[in-house]
């Protein structure tokens, strides 16, 4: 196959050469592998930004030792536990939110960044849609759609959010919950 020259910015060329050396590959082989993978993914509908977002989600999930399970399966388990252990279940989800905030803070230091992070990564989570807007006076309105197929799961997600928000110095001032839908008004406390 004939070789072709491709122009890239000087900084990118240096990074490619350094990575090729690090991987003990020729620049030719390394660039072909990188471009080959990206071309395959883009033909399947991915965009370069998607790959960056997906890698960040992967890092967060790996750091958290997350186990990915089908949402319908989780709905059934949560509903069973909810019947006899609602308080414990809510406590566990709230604690999970607080603990997860430590990892998430590496990628989102404040509430506004957290909301932007959620909106960016929505396609990688079992949530269908996130709508948010700033209302002023440190108050945000957030709507989450597709957060659990049953009311029990949706309420557990709400507890997770409460735990997460507590670590972001924010609290829920208004909430509406129905199966799969959470609508919140959140106030960020500025200390």
Q: Outline where DSSP puts E strands in 93-138.
A: 129-136
Quick one: pLDDT at residue 190?
Answer: 78
Residues of 163-174 as b/e, b for ≥16 C-beta within 10 angstroms?
Answer: bbbebbebebee
Computed over every residue of the chain, the mean pLDDT equals 89
Q: What pLDDT is recorded for position 1?
A: 67
**pLDDT confidence of residue 64:** 78
Predicted confidence (pLDDT) at residue 80 exceeds the cutoff of 70: yes
Q: How far apart are CA 156 and CA 132, in angstroms?
A: 20
Mean pLDDT for the stretch of residues 16-39: 93
* Sheet with strand 181-188: strands edge to edge: 129-136, 139-145, 181-188, 170-178
The answer to whether 97 and 160 have CB atoms below 8 angstroms apart is yes
Q: Between residues 83 and 107, which one has the greater pLDDT?
A: 83
Residue bearing the bigger pLDDT, 17 or 191: 17
pLDDT value for 137? 92
For the entire predicted model, the pTM comes to 0.77
Number of H helices, E strands in the chain: 6, 4
CATH domain 70-188 topology = Muramoyl-pentapeptide Carboxypeptidase; domain 2 (3.30.1380)
For the chain, the structural domain boundaries read 10-60, 70-188
Strand partners, 169: none
Instruction: Report the alpha-carbon distance of residue 177 to residue 191 in Å, rounded.
Output: 29
- pLDDT at site 49: 82
Q: What is the pLDDT of residues 111-163, one digit of tens each?
A: 888 888 887 777 667 788 889 999 999 999 999 998 888 999 999 999 999 99
Q: What is the pLDDT of residues 36-51, one digit of tens each?
A: 999 999 999 988 888 8
Predicted confidence band of residue 180 (pLDDT cuts 50, 70, 90) = very high
Q: What percent of the chain is modeled with pLDDT above 90?
A: 60
């Amino acid at each position: 196959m004939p070789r072709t020259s491709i122009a890239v910015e000087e900084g990118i060329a240096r990074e490619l050469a350094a990575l090729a050396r690090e991987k003990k590959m020729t620049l030719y082989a390394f660039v072909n592998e990188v471009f080959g993978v990206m071309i395959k993914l883009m033909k399947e509908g991915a965009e370069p930004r998607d790959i960056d977002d997906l890698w960040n989600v992967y890092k967060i999930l790996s750091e958290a030792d997350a186990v990915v399970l089908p949402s319908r399966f989780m709905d059934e388990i949560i509903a069973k536990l909810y019947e006899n252990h609602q308080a414990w279940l809510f406590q566990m989800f709230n604690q999970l939110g607080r603990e997860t905030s430590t990892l998430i803070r590496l990628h989102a230091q404040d509430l506004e960044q957290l909301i932007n992070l959620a909106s960016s990564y929505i396609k990688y989570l079992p949530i269908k849609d996130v709508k948010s807007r700033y209302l002023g006076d440190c108050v945000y309105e957030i709507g989450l759609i597709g957060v659990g197929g049953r009311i029990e799961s949706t309420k557990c997600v709400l507890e997770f959010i409460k735990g997460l928000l507590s670590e972001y110095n924010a609290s829920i001032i208004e909430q509406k919950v129905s199966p799969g839908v959470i609508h919140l008004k959140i106030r960020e406390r500025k200390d």
